[in-house]
Structure 1
């Protein structure tokens, strides 16, 4: 690339001068009214095609593709690009589809010629001319859709040749030139940015996605070399899109949403690079670390001014903790596991504090018990805790006793989260479906639910032969008994209290039966083992 620029930069500059002269002539004839629009278009098409044919003839005569041949054909392609810009972008003389078909034909022809004969200079000249033409035209009317169709065709061709032939300057030039054209379009037309989904944002997003995918494909085709220019331009692409998006959305949407989108995109791209290369290096680590930092920064602002901010915080940070837990388990990374545990503990404590005033998270305005965003936040936190209880932490050198202690600790904390889920959801059920019910009914319902949960804990402890769960179930049952006897007996509604106390008695008997059965089963297994010995 450096050799091309060093040797032929004067030729490229000469093409720019010729193109500027051609565009100036177009504009002058417009101001003077000498010839019609159709005549100008015909003159441009004939001039461009004539230079291309002359270049082909010279190549046939010399039996080679010299610099002069490439200059002639490249200059002809530039004049054709200027003509298409005039007809489709400067004036709406041609429909966008006509411009697309014509641009595709010219670009495909030049690309096929350059691919077959290795005419690198030709494509560099075409690149300069194709990007300079709309800048020199400075259209008086807003033909933006046609302009970006024009740029799409150019970028697709140049990226293809850049990947297929290894001509890196084509993708670098098209990337820089396109964002310059976008800036010129924005300044020249001063388009409306009202609304979240305005046209300037759509074009910026389209360019960002195109280059994000384009640079990943380019790196993959280049022997999976994801560093160097591809990495730098990919990161620059995110910075440019983020800057434009924040400017466009100012007053419409908080910048944290843009950061969150960029964070997700770069986390995914980094994961793809890691998946393809099977190793963690700069090309995969930089996007993932940058994406994670952007998500963390965004999470502190997402939902500002919204009542649902606590829910958003739990899902963002809980999701981040879950991702770190998965990385820690798959890669046996102690750092990821410990970071996940720390975030999970902080988020869990935060959620216990704010959940009582947080919104329920109804779906479509309808509250469905245990199937709402509030319930799912509890489920997310409980799932992470049970994961660590079952899988453990990826820390080398940990003794079996320490691992068992941590497993039990995570299990107990996760069951506390499940208890919180039951409490909040039952409270919401009364709030939505029985708002006029006495508070005693709510308290009695909580006592019954916690008693049932104590029974389930005991059953699970017996099933997996873990005394800890039976102990936790017993503790929960004792707490429920204290609540029922000393708190729920106040006031009236004696019939309901009778039913609740009867149910709690039945649950207690069931727990006794389960414990005795578990002990008898364990004793029978020990007797059989001794008999075998």
Structure 2
């Protein structure tokens, strides 16, 4: 490809200069009013056909192949310029007339190039076809005719590019089409009212065409999904994303655009993996970008709502669960998705602890049910995930003391989540039902009792896992709760309730003693027997 272009770039430049001169003459005669519009169209058609016939004649002579291709290509360029003048610049032809003329000229050029392997002809025709509407800026908004014009060009040149393996045609058509879109967008300054306006429709059509075109090209070229087609597909997604954000600003939330591109990229990645049977750069790049865009879009879901922190927790907890599942399924390098999952879990935990106090409870049908509301479920989801990391046999692939340290850290984090769950739900219960003038005292007593139960849970976990760390942590919680109950909670009234709470905490203390006495010796025996 590079050798071919290096050899014939001067021919391409010459054709571009001649075409520019022809278009300039067209515009000059329009400004001066020397000849009528039908006469201009007739001259263009005659000149284009004449150059094409002369080129075909030269191609039959010895050593006339190159000159013939240049002549035919120049004829096609003049015809394209005529169509651009009559159907796009001055609306003298109906869009269907432009479409039929483009199909006829392009089909003849492609047929000749196919039959005689005329690569140079395709280069000249494509350059002229893209350059003509760029130079002949219209006076009226004939974007639909331009859309049909570009559709024929791209379909034809993509097809022969795939069939003949002339890969340079695809990036030229791609770059020229998006450049034309930018020129006409700023030249016409079209209306952007509504999220279904015409500019976004044309941008969407171009995006889908190139997205599917790159996939089809890769399949037809021996399932080679890397290289040029991958780069074109990525550039296509970036260009459409930028245009969509510009066009739809104020009309549609950017999250919809991002999730659309993201899901399309994810679908392409899944298709490539299915076709190739192995991980390729195309699948990785599109899959990662698609997943990132989808997550960003989902993260914007509910922006401005009071429940946004709750939605974020569900979203990112779901991502952590998916990554943990992927790590479990993979036989090799499972530690990478597991490490990502654990990192996300930790960040979400910190985020939820910092935002939960001002986030709505997430009631069902405006009725608060303790431990059965969306806020409580989010706590339980985080706790379950933390305990999974603490008990998973494959946690980050570590063994020995490192494995034990990681397990204890996640178990401790999960227990903190349980403590947060108890605190928030009991506080929400008193807030929802507005329990009397002694609310502050009642709430303090209820929290003392709940935290005592929490200390018992810590002891039970430490006994079950044979980890003294949790018995120490549970002891610290129990001592703090006891001091709170005996010092702070004794202030004010509600004496009978205080007695009940103190008796309850005493019972919990005796139960912890029994747990230590029954399970601790077994744990020591197990340790000594190792």
Q: Secondary structure at the match of 2:138?
A: coil
C-alpha offsets along residues 47-86 of structure 1, whole Å, 9 cap, x if unaligned? 4344445544555x54999223322332232223223222
Q: Which residue of 2 aligns with 1:215?
A: 214
* 1:229-244 pair list within 5 angstroms: 229-244=228-243
Cα drift, residue 198 of structure 1: 4.4
Question: Are 2:83 and 1:107 aligned?
Answer: no
Cα drift, residue 151 of structure 1: 1.8
Contact 2:226 2:280 in 1 (8 A): no
* 1:138-217 pair list within 5 angstroms: 138-194=137-193, 196=195, 198-217=197-216
2: CA distance between counterparts of 1:374 and 1:88?
61
Cα drift, residue 341 of structure 1: 1.3
C-alpha offsets along residues 148-187 of structure 1, whole Å, 9 cap, x if unaligned? 2322222222222222222111011111111211221122
Superposed CA RMSD: 6.0
C-alpha offsets along residues 95-153 of structure 1, whole Å, 9 cap, x if unaligned? 43443344334333433432343221111111101111111110111222332232222
Contact 1:333 1:394 in 2 (8 A): no
Residue 321 to residue 241, structure 1, CA distance change in 2 (3 Å): same
Cα drift, residue 189 of structure 1: 1.4
Cα drift, residue 343 of structure 1: 0.6
Residue 285 to residue 128, structure 1, CA distance change in 2 (3 Å): same
Q: Which residue of 1 aligns with 2:343?
A: 342
Q: Which residue of 1 aligns with 2:453?
A: none
2: CA distance between counterparts of 1:113 and 1:225?
28
Judge which range, 202-211 or 371-380, deviates more. 371-380
Contact 1:96 1:149 in 2 (8 A): yes
Unmatched 5+ stretches in structure 1:
447-464, 487-496, 498-533
2: CA distance between counterparts of 1:371 and 1:50?
82
Q: Secondary structure at the match of 1:168?
A: coil
Q: Which residue of 1 aligns with 2:493?
A: none
Cα drift, residue 340 of structure 1: 0.6
Residue 269 to residue 319, structure 1, CA distance change in 2 (3 Å): farther
Contact 1:205 1:241 in 2 (8 A): yes
Q: Which residue of 2 aligns with 1:23?
A: 23
Judge which range, 287-296 or 153-162, deviates more. 287-296
Cα drift, residue 376 of structure 1: 7.8
Cα drift, residue 288 of structure 1: 4.7
C-alpha offsets along residues 428-470 of structure 1, whole Å, 9 cap, x if unaligned? 9999x98999999999xx9xxxxxxxxxxxxxxxxxx9999xx
Contact 1:328 1:394 in 2 (8 A): no
Cα drift, residue 346 of structure 1: 2.2
Judge which range, 165-174 or 434-443, deviates more. 434-443
Contact 1:26 1:40 in 2 (8 A): yes
Contact 1:332 1:394 in 2 (8 A): no
Question: Are 2:114 and 1:130 aligned?
Answer: no
Residue 159 to residue 386, structure 1, CA distance change in 2 (3 Å): farther
Contact 1:382 1:414 in 2 (8 A): yes
Judge which range, 398-407 or 34-43, deviates more. 398-407
Q: Which residue of 1 aligns with 2:68?
A: 69
Q: Which residue of 1 aligns with 2:309?
A: 310
Structure 1 length-normalised TM: 0.68
1: CA distance between counterparts of 2:368 and 2:4?
66
Q: Which residue of 2 aligns with 1:2?
A: 2
Q: Which residue of 1 aligns with 2:119?
A: 120
2: CA distance between counterparts of 1:205 and 1:367?
45
Q: Which residue of 1 aligns with 2:355?
A: 354
Contact 2:323 2:338 in 1 (8 A): yes
2: CA distance between counterparts of 1:437 and 1:49?
95
Q: Secondary structure at the match of 2:358?
A: coil
Residue 388 to residue 394, structure 1, CA distance change in 2 (3 Å): closer
1: CA distance between counterparts of 2:395 and 2:215?
32
Residue 405 to residue 2, structure 1, CA distance change in 2 (3 Å): closer
Contact 1:265 1:291 in 2 (8 A): yes
2: CA distance between counterparts of 1:234 and 1:368?
50
Q: Which residue of 1 aligns with 2:88?
A: 89
C-alpha offsets along residues 276-299 of structure 1, whole Å, 9 cap, x if unaligned? 545556544444555566677778
Length, aligned pairs only: 512
Residue 324 to residue 68, structure 1, CA distance change in 2 (3 Å): same
Residue 312 to residue 46, structure 1, CA distance change in 2 (3 Å): farther
C-alpha offsets along residues 494-520 of structure 1, whole Å, 9 cap, x if unaligned? xxx9xxxxxxxxxxxxxxxxxxxxxxx
Contact 2:395 2:403 in 1 (8 A): no
* 1:307-456 pair list within 5 angstroms: 307-329=306-328, 330=330, 332-359=333-360, 381=382, 392-393=393-394, 395-396=396-397, 398-399=398-399
Unmatched 5+ stretches in structure 2:
448-463, 487-496, 498-530
2: CA distance between counterparts of 1:366 and 1:272?
44
Judge which range, 132-141 or 28-37, deviates more. 28-37
Residue 40 to residue 358, structure 1, CA distance change in 2 (3 Å): farther
Judge which range, 398-407 or 182-191, deviates more. 398-407
1: CA distance between counterparts of 2:212 and 2:272?
12
1: CA distance between counterparts of 2:227 and 2:410?
44
2: CA distance between counterparts of 1:99 and 1:361?
59
C-alpha offsets along residues 284-321 of structure 1, whole Å, 9 cap, x if unaligned? 44445555666777788776644343245334433442
Contact 2:48 2:79 in 1 (8 A): yes
1: CA distance between counterparts of 2:430 and 2:177?
58
